[in-house]
Amino acid sequence: MIVRPHRHWFVRLFSWHGSVLPGILFRLGLNLLMSIIAIFCLDWYETLGVKLTLAPFSLLGVSIAIFLGFRNSVCYARFSEARQLWGSLLITCRDIQRQVLAISPADAPRIAALLMAFCYSLKHQLRRTDAREDLNRFLGDEAEDILRRRARTNAIELKISQWLADQRRSGAISDIVYAQLDNSIHQLSLVLGGCERLASVPVPFAYGLLLHRTVYLFCTLLPFALVPDLHYMTPLVSVFIAYSFLSLDTLAEELEMPFGYANNHLPMDAMCTNIEINLLEMNNQRELPEAPVPDRYYRLT
Amino acid sequence: MIVRPHRHWFVRLFSWHGSVLPGILFRLGLNLLMSIIAIFCLDWYETLGVKLTLAPFSLLGVSIAIFLGFRNSVCYARFSEARQLWGSLLITCRDIQRQVLAISPADAPRIAALLMAFCYSLKHQLRRTDAREDLNRFLGDEAEDILRRRARTNAIELKISQWLADQRRSGAISDIVYAQLDNSIHQLSLVLGGCERLASVPVPFAYGLLLHRTVYLFCTLLPFALVPDLHYMTPLVSVFIAYSFLSLDTLAEELEMPFGYANNHLPMDAMCTNIEINLLEMNNQRELPEAPVPDRYYRLT
Amino acid sequence: MIVRPHRHWFVRLFSWHGSVLPGILFRLGLNLLMSIIAIFCLDWYETLGVKLTLAPFSLLGVSIAIFLGFRNSVCYARFSEARQLWGSLLITCRDIQRQVLAISPADAPRIAALLMAFCYSLKHQLRRTDAREDLNRFLGDEAEDILRRRARTNAIELKISQWLADQRRSGAISDIVYAQLDNSIHQLSLVLGGCERLASVPVPFAYGLLLHRTVYLFCTLLPFALVPDLHYMTPLVSVFIAYSFLSLDTLAEELEMPFGYANNHLPMDAMCTNIEINLLEMNNQRELPEAPVPDRYYRLT
Amino acid sequence: MIVRPHRHWFVRLFSWHGSVLPGILFRLGLNLLMSIIAIFCLDWYETLGVKLTLAPFSLLGVSIAIFLGFRNSVCYARFSEARQLWGSLLITCRDIQRQVLAISPADAPRIAALLMAFCYSLKHQLRRTDAREDLNRFLGDEAEDILRRRARTNAIELKISQWLADQRRSGAISDIVYAQLDNSIHQLSLVLGGCERLASVPVPFAYGLLLHRTVYLFCTLLPFALVPDLHYMTPLVSVFIAYSFLSLDTLAEELEMPFGYANNHLPMDAMCTNIEINLLEMNNQRELPEAPVPDRYYRLT
Amino acid sequence: MIVRPHRHWFVRLFSWHGSVLPGILFRLGLNLLMSIIAIFCLDWYETLGVKLTLAPFSLLGVSIAIFLGFRNSVCYARFSEARQLWGSLLITCRDIQRQVLAISPADAPRIAALLMAFCYSLKHQLRRTDAREDLNRFLGDEAEDILRRRARTNAIELKISQWLADQRRSGAISDIVYAQLDNSIHQLSLVLGGCERLASVPVPFAYGLLLHRTVYLFCTLLPFALVPDLHYMTPLVSVFIAYSFLSLDTLAEELEMPFGYANNHLPMDAMCTNIEINLLEMNNQRELPEAPVPDRYYRLT
pLDDT surpassing 60 at residue E18: no
Predicted confidence at residue A195, as pLDDT, reads: 96
In a domain, B300, yes or no: no
Parent domain of D226 = 23-44+51-282
Interface membership of D53 toward E (CB under 8 Å): yes
Predicted confidence at residue C8, as pLDDT, reads: 61
In a domain, E118, yes or no: yes
Contact C163, C135 (CB under 8 A): no
Alpha-carbon span C254 to C261, nearest angstrom: 10
Contacts with B51 from chain C: Cβ below 8 Å: 229-231, 233
Predicted confidence at residue C24, as pLDDT, reads: 83
Q: Tell me, what's the ipTM?
A: 0.90
In a domain, E17, yes or no: no
pLDDT tens string B217-276 = 999 999 999 988 888 888 999 999 999 999 888 888 889 889 988 888 999 999 999 999
Q: Which backbone phi and psi does D50 adopt, to 5 degrees?
A: -90, 120
Contact E48, E151 (CB under 8 A): no
How many other CB atoms sit within 10 Å of the CB of residue D268? 25
Alpha-carbon span E47 to A52, nearest angstrom: 25
Contacts with D59 from chain E: Cβ below 8 Å: 54, 57-58, 61-62, 241
Which residues lie across from B231 on neighbouring strands? A50
User: What residues contact residue D168 under an 8 Å CB cut-off, 6+ apart?
Assistant: D174, D175, D178, E102
Interface membership of E161 toward D (CB under 8 Å): no
| Helices A21-47 and A234-256, packing angle to 10 deg | 140
Lowest average pLDDT, out of B120-124, C68-72, D55-59, E17-21, goes to E17-21
Kindly state the average pLDDT of the residues B162-187: 94
Give the confidence band of C6 by pLDDT, cuts at 50, 70, 90: low
Alpha-carbon span B244 to A209, nearest angstrom: 11
In a domain, D3, yes or no: no
Query: Cβ–Cβ of B277/A204 closer than 8 Å?
Result: no
pLDDT tens string E110-147 = 999 999 999 999 999 999 999 999 999 999 988 999 99
User: C25: helix, coil or strand?
Assistant: helix
Element (H, E) at C94: helix C54-103
User: B247: helix, coil or strand?
Assistant: helix
Nearest to C99 by CA among A183, B117, B181, D184: B181
Give the confidence band of B6 by pLDDT, cuts at 50, 70, 90: low
pLDDT tens string C78-91 = 999 999 999 999 99
Q: Which backbone phi and psi does C50 adopt, to 5 degrees?
A: -90, 125
Question: Cα torsion for D293, C159, B191, A93, to the nearest 10°?
Answer: 90
pLDDT surpassing 80 at residue D46: no
In eight-state DSSP terms, residue B50 is B
For residue B252, how far is the Cα from the chain centroid? 11
Query: Cβ–Cβ of A178/B177 closer than 8 Å?
Result: yes
pLDDT surpassing 60 at residue C93: yes
| Tens digit of pLDDT at every position of chain A (301 positions) | 666 655 566 666 666 555 556 678 888 899 999 999 988 888 887 777 677 788 888 999 999 999 999 999 999 999 999 999 999 999 999 999 999 999 999 999 999 999 999 999 999 999 999 999 999 999 998 899 999 999 999 999 999 999 999 999 999 999 999 999 999 999 999 999 999 999 988 888 888 888 888 998 999 999 999 988 888 888 999 999 999 999 888 888 889 889 988 888 999 999 999 999 999 999 998 888 888 888 777 778 7
In a domain, D190, yes or no: yes
Contacts with C283 from chain B: Cβ below 8 Å: none
Mean pLDDT of chain D: 89
Alpha-carbon span E24 to A8, nearest angstrom: 12
Predicted confidence at residue B126, as pLDDT, reads: 95
Predicted confidence at residue D126, as pLDDT, reads: 95
Residues composing chain E:
301
Contact E64, E245 (CB under 8 A): yes
Nearest to B196 by CA among B130, B123, B90, B95: B123
For residue A25, how far is the Cα from the chain centroid? 22
Burial D240-257 (b: 16+ CB within 10 A, else e): bbbbbbbbbbbbbbbbbb
Interface membership of C91 toward D (CB under 8 Å): no
> What's the number of domains chain E is made of?
1
Nearest CB to E49; choose among A18, A232, A282? A232
Contacts with C151 from chain D: Cβ below 8 Å: 277-278, 281-282
pLDDT tens string D106-154 = 999 999 999 999 999 999 999 999 999 999 999 998 899 999 999 999 9
CB pairs under 8 A between C and D: 178
Nearest CB to E83; choose among D197, D208, D210? D197
Alpha-carbon span D118 to A174, nearest angstrom: 37
Alpha-carbon span C210 to D5, nearest angstrom: 15
Alpha-carbon span C40 to C46, nearest angstrom: 11
Alpha-carbon span E163 to E173, nearest angstrom: 11
Residue type present at position B207: Y
* Mutate: best of A154, A191, A205, partner B, most B CBs <10 A: A205
In a domain, A209, yes or no: no
Interface membership of A283 toward E (CB under 8 Å): no
Residue type present at position E153: T
In a domain, A136, yes or no: yes
User: What residues contact residue B99 under an 8 Å CB cut-off, 6+ apart?
Assistant: A161, A182, B180, B181, B184
Contact B237, A56 (CB under 8 A): yes
Contact D288, C150 (CB under 8 A): yes
In a domain, E70, yes or no: no
How many other CB atoms sit within 10 Å of the CB of residue D7? 9
Q: Which backbone phi and psi does E174 adopt, to 5 degrees?
A: -80, 170
Predicted confidence at residue A264, as pLDDT, reads: 84
